[in-house]
Amino acid sequence: MIIAIDGPAAAGKGTLARRIAEAYGYHHLDTGLTYRATAKALLDAGLPLDDEAIAEGMARKVDLAGLDRTVLSRHEIGEAASKIAVMPSVRRALVEAQRRFAQKRPGAVLDGRDIGTVVCPDALVKLYVTASAEVRAKRRYEEIVEAGGSADYDAIFEDVKRRDERDMGRTDSPLKPAEDAYLLDTSEMSIEAAFQTAKSIIEAALSRNA
């Protein structure tokens, strides 16, 4: 039982994926963390971010059980991750590990950019979660301010757009909805409403599959 959730940065797919996994008792993997963990390992070791063979070696060593979201969420790690995420051999290594995770019983929810298109094309349910760049930047801004930090909305907005361009523009596994994905635009939707919509899509798929 695999649920694939894709979408651009800060669209709310992580929160949605966690809630779905919790509601159904499934395992959850934020695949962005696998790219982030690879990038962090390179940065920590003082290794270059533009050498594909070295990056692939690091990707093969990533332990999916030890991914720490708090540590890996740092901005500079995200930037470094998006650079190595364009490398085909890094993607191949991480996709292999992600596919193994997807086989976990009783089910798995994976979120990322290419889950429905590349990692798990046979997933039972595919959701493509999106929101306008303005709304995503505003959410990220509020998240930082609420956590007591200081943030610059314009810089975040530019960052969101740059990240979109990199994710959608790369040759290998660009971000795009799978043909059979349900599109969920959360620009004007609360996370609770998005969750309820996702749940009804999943319920319908589960009963078709029973």
From 63-71, 106-114, 183-191, 194-202, give the range in contact with ligand DC by CB under 6 A: 106-114
- Between CA 37 and CA 43 the distance in angstroms is 10
> How far is 41 from 61, CA to CA, in rounded Å?
9
Per the omega criterion (within 30 degrees of 0), is the bond before 177 cis? no
Looking at the Cβ atoms of 22 and 76, the one nearer to ligand DC is 76
For ligand DC, the closer CB: 1 or 59: 59
CB-based contact 14:194 (threshold 8 Å): no
- What is the x/- site pattern for ligand DC, positions 82-101, by CB under 6 A? x--x----------------
Task: Pick the closer one to ligand DC by CB: 85 or 129.
Answer: 85
Contacts (CB under 6 A) with ligand DC, residues 23-82: 31-32, 35-36, 78, 81-82
Smallest distance from the beta carbon of 171 to ligand DC, in angstroms? 12
CB of 10 to ligand DC, least distance (A): 8
Residue 88 vs 196, nearer CB to ligand DC: 88
Residue whose CB is less far from ligand DC, 100 or 204:
100
Rounded Cα gap, residues 15 and 179, in angstroms: 23
**Which residues contact residue 9 at a Cβ distance below 8 angstroms, ignoring those fewer than 6 apart?**
78, 136, 160, 163, 164, 167
Binding mask 123-152 for ligand DC (x = CB under 6 A): ------------------------------
Instruction: Determine how β-strand 108-112 pairs with β-strand 27-30.
Output: parallel
Question: Is 112 one of the binding residues for ligand DC (CB under 6 A)?
Answer: yes
Q: Can you point out the beta strands (E) in 59-207?
A: 108-112, 125-130, 182-185
Query: Edge-to-edge strands of the sheet including 2-6?
Result: 27-30, 108-112, 2-6, 125-130, 182-185
3-state secondary structure string, 89-109?
Answer: HHHHHHHHHHHHHHCCCCCEE
Please state the closest distance from residue 35 (CB atom) to ligand DC, in A.
4
**Closer by beta carbon to ligand DC, 1 or else 33:** 33
Question: Shortest distance, CB of residue 101 to ligand DC, whole angstroms?
Answer: 12
Q: What is each CA distance from 177 to 49, 74, 89, 121, in whole angstroms?
A: 28, 27, 23, 11
> Which residues of this protein are in contact with ligand DC, per CB under 6 A?
9, 31-32, 35-36, 78, 81-82, 85, 112-114, 163, 167
